[in-house]
Chain A
Amino acid sequence: MFWFIIGIILGCILMWVISQVRSGTFKATWYQWVLGVLAVASALFGIQNYQGFISGLEPIAAKYSLTLYGGIAVVLALLTWLIPILTRAIGNKKDKEVNNAAS
């Protein structure tokens, strides 16, 4: 039941993202898709291991696995979000420098 609910939530999020991409509101590069998928996979892996260790009555291992894979998921998600912003900022800066040099 737990994984069924997770599946429904992920499905809804994916549908929303696709609709945003199709409507042109949101543009995603290929590496954003890759990083996003890896982030989701890492989060799911962390949740599964947490659950598995808890059912095996191993709370320390459960916390470690959730922290590790959850942490990786958060970093990857941040990268997915930050890379286009940083790229745009760097691009803007370079454009400005080129413009300044030209003027």
Chain B
Amino acid sequence: MPGSLNRREFLKSVGLAGAGVTLASSGVAEAAASNNKPNEVPYRYWWVKYQDKPTIEIDWKQVQRFKEWKTTRGSLSEYRSDMYGEGFHKKLNDLSSRNKKNWEANAVSGYTTKDVAFKAAAGYGRPTMTFMGPQKTSTPEERGVPRYEGTPEENSQIIRAAARHLGASSVGFVELDTNTTMKLIYDEQPNGDKRKIRFENIDVGYETDDKLAIPDKARYAIVFSVQMSGETMQRGPTLTGSNTTGLSYTRLWLTLAQMHEFIHGLGWQSYGTPRSNGLGIYPAMATMAGLGEMSRLNRVITPQYGPMVRFTFLLTDLPLAPTKPINFGVMEFCKHCKRCADLCPSKSLSFDTEPSWEVQGQWNNPGHKAYFENSVTCRNYWSQVGTNCGICFAVCPYTMDDEATIQKIWKATAATTPAFDSTVTRIQNAAFPAELGKPIKSPESWWENENMPEYGINTMRGGRKL
């Protein structure tokens, strides 16, 4: 009978109320109600700490918006001419073509006809890259319904869910700030385009022959990664090894185009790069979004996949909840572990214990304390081997899968107790032997594994739970 409780019912209700109070005060009830913490990238190991600033030191006053074409992707011939004299660039390019031709003719491991065909196949299917997305899907307006509306947290959640399903391995968000993160947007686009990128007080963005105009309101960046195959990269520096680079770019640009379409279909605007590696500095945006930490590679290392990722991002006016930078001990670990620098065939990576404010050349963007690399000598080696190298990625201890418990233990130790970093490095060197300038595993052996997971990647890495 409602309103009258017998002794047993009374005690039961008191017990339940007590349990409720206890759970609520400990935050368990809140966690049970929502698995997603809106300001964090979900499914992380416990040793990944979230903090307001990234582990890399940044002097935002010194940071200027960079011209992408000043990287070695855009100005390699100029840098080579300055460093080695006129004609060197052509000589190396000729050497690259000649080597590849000879090696294929002589069926050199990693450069055989099947490797050449395979590399070309991995690069096929990339969509045409556009500033405002393909815009082939209908908008809510065209469908006669209002546009999608949600809180920044809800928007972040659906964007993350969609991006993950479309092939992104991790997704984070940055809200652009004029004095800080907006400086990570390129001043000018890559070579062959060199268009200026400008933010304007306009309702809809536009592009001209010399400018990409982004509305001020499109200040939310969706930063995401696509996982690369460590198993494949261990066959570098060969065409077999670099296949994962080609394939991940194909997947990256496809996911980017699909995310444009998703946002368009929700009734909001999105802006991305119309040219490979444009719009902004991907590793910097990924660091600010909490997808990983900068490292000795002068690239991002993620908690889940190590350095085996490619990043890109797009800007949108759909309000999103920013995710925080993370710290899982990488910058400290890199001070002791110089495995990538030791095994770099062109010795292009820094051997300094501490990161530096001093850049190595005009290809680096000053204003942050990093392990700046000699990008020209790195590219020279690429020319010799006829493809991108990837050895530094392949030998990084964080690249190795962490199905083995000991891998999780050392990562947790590196994140919490840097005193053991040197010991961990020695163990890693013994457990994962590698020789200078040689693939870790035979390129030919790659073809023997017919049971490789799709795209050569383990999508359950990094403590992900379904």
Contacts and interface: CB of A to CB of B under 8 A. Distances in A.
Nearest to B456: A57
B426 to A, nearest CB: 13
Contact of A55 (B401, B405, B406, B430): B401
Nearest to B401: A56
Nearest to B430: A64
Contacts, number: 48
Contacts of A52: 401-407
B420 interface: no
A64 B431 contact: yes
A58 interface: yes
A48 interface: yes
A37 B405 CA distance: 19
B406 A65 contact: yes
B412 to A, nearest CB: 15
B400 interface: yes
Q: How large is the interface on A (under 10, 10 to 19, 20 to 34, 35 or more residues)?
A: 10 to 19
Contacts of B400: 56, 58, 61
A93 to B, nearest CB: 42
B35 interface: no
Nearest to A46: B406
A60 B432 contact: yes
Contacts of B404: 48-53, 56, 58, 61-62, 65
B432 A55 contact: no
Interface in B113-166: none
Majority DSSP secondary structure for residues of A touching B = helix
B256 to A, nearest CB: 29
A53 B404 CA distance: 6
Nearest to B427: A64
Interface in B440-462: 449, 458
Nearest to A53: B404
B40 interface: no
Contacts of B406: 45, 49, 52, 65
Contact of A61 (B231, B405, B431): B431
Interface in A50-99: 50-53, 55-58, 60-62, 64-65
B3 interface: no
A52 B404 CA distance: 4
A46 B108 CA distance: 38
Given A58-B401, A58-B431, 6 more contacts: A49-B406, A52-B401, A52-B403, A53-B403, A61-B432, A64-B431
The 5 closest A-B pairs by CB, nearest first: A52-B404, A56-B401, A52-B403, A61-B431, A49-B404
Interface of A: 45, 48-53, 55-58, 60-62, 64-65
30 contacts: A48-B404, A48-B405, A49-B404, A49-B405, A51-B403, A51-B404, A52-B401, A52-B404, A52-B405, A52-B406, A52-B407, A53-B403, A56-B400, A56-B402, A56-B404, A56-B458, A57-B449, A58-B400, A58-B401, A58-B431, A60-B431, A60-B432, A61-B404, A61-B431, A61-B432, A62-B404, A64-B430, A64-B431, A65-B406, A65-B431
